């Protein structure tokens, strides 16, 4: 039999299937809350002005496309560090490399952990981003789950989370969303971060922070607060970062992975393993997006323009959240949540009915991309969802 006959069929990505259904729907007032990209009030996902300008500069100035190294654009990584770790947070025990998006950073970090300690478990909250568990499994890590958020009550479950994590062994990894939790939007407050950080330190866990939405929840500084608390508490830690959302560069695949180690020797060995893994995964990350981000961050005017556009995206999402909550008190939790996503407290049957009867499209678990709403759609959206609320 042909060799490739040995391949089992894999399920189609449900969100991509949803895109197909949405396109085929002839209703003019259909609403797409499926795929997780920012949209403006006209439904577009535009290229940011700051990015367009930096691309023009890059086109005019770039004089070579020769290879870089497996660590990508070092200037890009260095310019992100004060944004992620704080203006005065230079740390000789931290090292970073550019990666293809946040996904590349997650995969690289998980393979690094698997190489360091093959029998470790990585703890992932329930619910979490749909790609977290498959990525950990692809890196051959053992996946354990803990509770995180209750869809019906819309509450963060820190007590249940820490109770579940009581089973973790020292040296296990704990994956945490830095801000704007996907899919729940649940806001982790400073007091919660301090509890988690104290637990991580006491139990000897290694935090792996996934920061994919910095600036889209509360603000650039605010959205890094949890990460900074954790990195202060834990001697060893990993950070996966994405610029794909906060710079609107989704398909350019812009990200970074940092590792914090206990001493310089361990750090150097970690970096050498990051580079050797990257060589076999993608050899080196794609240049364009990181070069553009580097240009934006190194030019004060472009940087100010980016920060203003980012604030505009954040304000639009927050405004939609307030509008939904004000129209329907049973959805009040949405105004407390942050970032692009919320997980509506409705059943799978409701998700199907909303699609079939109202042309409102969302992921099967009732996750909505809040930015997919237009302000004028809010009353109709809320009226349709309201029928299914408890
Ligand atoms: N982490 C989370 C929580 C995400 O939601 C996403 C994207 O949806 C990513 C990481 C990956 O982002 P990227 O497109 O940069 O790979």
Atom of ligand 1 nearest to the CA of 105: 16
CA of 348 to the centre of ligand 1 (A): 24
Distance of CA 33 from the midpoint of ligand 1 (Å): 17
For the CA of 255, the closest atom of ligand 1 is 15
DSSP state of 152: T
pLDDT over 90 at 114, yes or no? yes
Preceding peptide of 127 cis, ω within 30°: yes
pTM of the model: 0.97
Strands 237-242 and 254-260: antiparallel
Closest atom, ligand 1, to C-alpha of 177: 3
Q: What is the DSSP letter of 6?
A: G
What is the model's pLDDT at position 88?
87
3-state secondary structure of 302: helix
How far is it, in rounded angstroms, from Cα 141 to Cα 123?
10
For ligand 1, the distance from its centroid to the CA atom of residue 255, given in whole angstroms, is 9
pLDDT at 215: 98
pLDDT band, very low/low/confident/very high, at 89 (cuts 50, 70, 90): confident
Between these two residues, 88 and 308, which has the higher pLDDT value?
308
How large a percentage of the chain has pLDDT more than 90?
97
Atom 6, ligand 1: which residue's CA is nearest?
212
Residue nearest atom 2 of ligand 1, based on CA coordinates: 212
pLDDT-derived band at 16 (thresholds 50, 70, 90) equals: confident
pLDDT the model gives residue 381: 98
Pick the residue whose CA is nearest to atom 1 on ligand 1: 212
Average pLDDT in the chain: 97
> Which residue carries 């399920």 as its tokens?
11
Measured CA to CA, the distance from residue 17 to residue 26 in angstroms comes to: 16
Q: pLDDT tens digits for 159-171? A: 999 999 999 999 9
pLDDT at 13: 86
Predicted local distance difference test score (pLDDT) of residue 97 = 98
Mean pLDDT within 256-271: 98
How confident is the model over 170-179, as a mean pLDDT? 98
**Ligand 1 site: residues with CB under 6 angstroms?**
36, 101-103, 129, 177, 182, 210, 212, 242, 244, 250, 255
Distance 61 CA to ligand 1 centre (A): 30
Output the residue whose Cα is nearest ligand 1's atom 12: 102
Q: What is the mean pLDDT of residues 244-257?
A: 98
Structure confidence at residue 390 (pLDDT): 82
Ligand 1 centroid–CA 90 distance in Å is: 26
The predicted pLDDT at position 262 comes to 97
Spell out the residues 6+ positions from residue 130 whose beta carbon is closer than 8 angstroms to its own: 15
What was the pLDDT predicted at 12? 86
Q: Is residue 15 pLDDT above 90, yes or no?
A: no
Q: How far is the CA of 34 from the centre of ligand 1 (A)?
A: 15
Mutate to test the pocket of ligand 1, among 128, 208, 245 (most ligand atoms within 8 A of CB): 245
pLDDT tier for residue 57 given thresholds of 50, 70 and 90: very high
Contacts of 2 (CB under 8 A, 6+ apart): none
Catalytic residues: 129, 210, 212, 245
Q: How confident is the model at residue 14 (pLDDT cuts 50, 70, 90)?
A: confident
Nearest CA, atom 10, ligand 1:
102
pLDDT at 100: 98
E-strand ranges in the chain read 31-32, 94-100, 121-126, 142-147, 149-150, 155-156, 173-177, 206-211, 237-242, 254-260, 341-343, 360-361, 367-369
């Amino acid at each position: 039999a042909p060799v490739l006959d040995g391949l089992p069929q894999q399920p189609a990505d449900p969100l991509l299937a949803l895109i197909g259904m949405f396109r085929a729907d002839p209703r003019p007032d259909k609403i797409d809350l499926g795929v997780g990209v920012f949209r403006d009030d006209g439904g577009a996902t535009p290229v940011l002005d700051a990015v367009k300008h930096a691309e023009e500069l890059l086109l005019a100035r770039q004089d070579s496309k020769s290879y870089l190294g497996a660590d990508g654009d070092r200037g890009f990584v260095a310019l992100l560090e004060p944004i992620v770790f704080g203006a005065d947070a230079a740390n000789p025990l931290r090292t970073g490399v550019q990666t293809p998006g946040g996904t590349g950073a997650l995969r690289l970090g998980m393979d690094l952990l698997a190489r360091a300690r093959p029998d470790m478990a990585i703890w992932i909250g329930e619910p979490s981003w749909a790609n977290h568990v498959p990525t950990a499994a692809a890196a051959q890590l053992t996946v354990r789950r803990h509770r995180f958020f209750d869809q019906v009550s819309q509450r963060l479950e820190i007590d249940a989370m820490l109770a579940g994590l009581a089973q973790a062994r020292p040296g296990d990894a704990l994956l945490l969303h830095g801000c704007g939790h996907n899919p729940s939007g649940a806001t982790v407050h400073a007091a919660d971060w301090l509890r988690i950080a104290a637990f991580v330190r006491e139990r000897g866990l290694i935090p792996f922070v996934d920061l994919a939405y910095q600036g889209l929840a509360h603000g650039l500084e605010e959205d890094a607060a949890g990460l900074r608390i954790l990195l202060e508490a834990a001697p060893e830690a990993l950070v996966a970062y994405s610029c794909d959302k906060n710079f609107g560069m989704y398909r350019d695949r812009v990200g970074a992975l940092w590792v914090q180690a206990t001493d310089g020797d361990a750090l150097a060995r970690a970096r050498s393993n990051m580079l050797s893994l990257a060589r076999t995964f993608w050899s080196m990350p794609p240049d364009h997006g990181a070069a553009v981000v580097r240009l934006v961050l190194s030019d004060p005017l472009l940087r100010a323009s980016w920060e203003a556009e980012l604030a505009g995206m954040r304000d639009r999402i927050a405004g939609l959240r307030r509008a939904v909550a004000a129209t329907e008190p049973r959805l009040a939790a949405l105004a407390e949540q942050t970032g692009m996503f919320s997980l509506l407290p409705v059943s799978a049957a409701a998700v199907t009915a909303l699609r079939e009867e109202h042309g409102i499209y969302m992921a099967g678990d009732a996750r909505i991309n809040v930015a997919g709403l237009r302000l004028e759609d809010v009353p109709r959206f809320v009226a349709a969802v309201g029928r299914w609320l408890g």
